[in-house]
Amino acid sequence: MDLIAIRDDFAFWQKNKYECYAAKPLWINLNDTYSHHIIFDDNIRLDSVDDCIVNIRLFNSIHNAKYLNVNFNSYKYFKATSILQPDLVELLNPNLKIDSKNNHYLSMIKNAEKSYEANSI
């Protein structure tokens, strides 16, 4: 498993009026059976293009194999598989240990993987 962390550029997002197309990028290639890209953020708002912290870019082999911005209306299809909003109460729960079977992040990843596999078939 590879892990990549990306730090957002809040000033850039703010300068662009919090529009999703200036937010944290999430690259998705539906033909890639090896990688499953997931973004965690407590500020995900999928109800407004003007206040969403995620910019989904979908691989498109027809357009010179480039990643193109996804229309905001399609973001909802990635909610259970790639766009995950942690429950802050669960994350701050001192009873959850890193090696616990109840680890909130691991649980979210497992559920996202199941949804991703179900949607890929």
Give the mean pLDDT per block of 10 residues along the chain (121 residues): 74 90 88 85 81 87 80 89 84 62 79 85 47
Instruction: State the pLDDT at residue 63.
Output: 67
Instruction: State the pLDDT at residue 19.
Output: 86
Q: What is the pTM of this model?
A: 0.76
Question: 25 and 59 in contact (C-beta within 8 Å)?
Answer: no
Instruction: State the pLDDT at residue 98.
Output: 56
Instruction: State the pLDDT at residue 87.
Output: 79
What span, in angstroms and rounded, lies between the C-alpha atoms of 37 and 66?
16
Question: 46 and 20 in contact (C-beta within 8 Å)?
Answer: no
* Assigned token pair, 117: 């596999």
Looking at 1-121, list the stretches that DSSP marks H as alpha helix, in order from N- to C-terminal side: 10-15, 88-91, 104-120
Question: 87 and 104 in contact (C-beta within 8 Å)?
Answer: yes
Instruction: State the pLDDT at residue 121.
Output: 47
Instruction: State the pLDDT at residue 12.
Output: 93
The one-letter code for the residue type at 118 is: A
Sign, Cα dihedral of 79, 91, 105, 102: negative
Instruction: State the pLDDT at residue 21.
Output: 87
